[in-house]
C-alpha cells in the first residue's frame, strides 16, 4: 500500500500536524476536512469534515467542529464517540475516573470527554475548502483513498 501521507498530500494542501489542543486554536473558521492520527507519528485514525455552520452569524467551520470535541460536549457523534469508546475500553483510564468518584470528586460527562481526548493524544492536519459541498467531496475522496486503513470512522 502507498504511504497514507503521500496519498493525503495528493488530495489537498494540508496544514502541518498539530497536537489536538493546538489544532483547535489554529483551526480556521471555514469549511474543510481534518485528519487525526495517534501521536505525532502514529497511524491515521479518523477523517472528518466541517461545513459553514454558524452561530450568532459567526462562521464556525473547522474551528467550531474541533472546539466542540475539545469541550467534551460531542461524546455521541463522530470523533468524540470514537475517542470515548476507546477510553471506556481502557481499564486504567476507567479506574482513574472511578477513583475520582470514590474520593468525592465526581466528574460531569463533558469532563470525561475532555479526559478521553487527553488520553487519545491526537494530532490533526487540516485542509480548507470553499464550502460544505467541497468539504464533503474531499472527505469522501480521503476516506476512499484510505479504505485499506482501520479508521475509527463508523460511516465509511
User: CA 29, CA 129: separation in Å to the nearest integer?
Assistant: 11
Q: What is the pLDDT of residue 73?
A: 86
Contacts of 86 (CB under 8 A, 6+ apart): 116, 119, 120, 152
Q: Is residue 32 part of a domain?
A: yes
Q: What is the pLDDT of residue 76?
A: 85
Q: Is residue 150 part of a domain?
A: no
> Does position 18 have pLDDT exceeding 70, yes or no?
yes
Number of domains forming the structure of the chain:
1
Contacts of 5 (CB under 8 A, 6+ apart): none
Q: Is residue 129 part of a domain?
A: yes
pTM value? 0.91
> Does position 57 have pLDDT exceeding 90, yes or no?
no
Q: Is residue 152 part of a domain?
A: no
Cα–Cα nearest to 36, from 142, 144, 155:
142
> Does position 54 have pLDDT exceeding 80, yes or no?
no
Where in the sequence is the domain holding 35, given as residue range(s)?
Answer: 4-145
Q: Is residue 102 part of a domain?
A: yes
Amino acid at each position: 500500500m502507498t504511504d497514507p501521507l503521500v496519498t493525503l498530500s495528493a488530495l489537498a494542501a494540508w496544514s502541518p500536524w498539530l497536537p489536538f489542543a493546538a489544532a483547535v486554536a489554529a483551526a480556521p473558521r471555514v469549511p474543510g476536512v481534518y485528519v487525526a492520527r495517534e501521536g505525532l507519528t502514529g497511524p491515521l485514525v479518523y477523517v472528518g469534515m466541517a461545513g459553514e455552520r454558524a452561530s450568532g452569524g459567526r462562521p464556525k467551520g473547522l474551528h467550531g467542529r474541533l472546539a466542540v470535541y475539545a469541550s467534551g460536549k460531542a461524546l455521541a457523534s463522530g470523533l468524540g464517540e470514537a475517542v470515548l469508546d476507546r477510553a471506556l475500553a481502557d481499564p486504567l483510564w476507567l479506574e482513574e475516573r472511578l477513583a475520582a468518584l470514590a474520593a468525592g470528586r465526581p466528574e460531569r460527562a463533558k469532563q470525561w470527554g475532555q479526559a478521553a481526548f487527553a488520553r487519545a493524544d491526537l494530532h490533526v492536519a487540516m485542509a480548507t475548502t470553499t464550502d460544505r459541498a467541497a468539504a464533503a467531496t474531499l472527505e469522501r475522496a480521503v476516506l476512499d483513498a484510505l479504505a485499506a486503513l482501520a479508521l475509527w470512522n463508523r460511516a465509511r
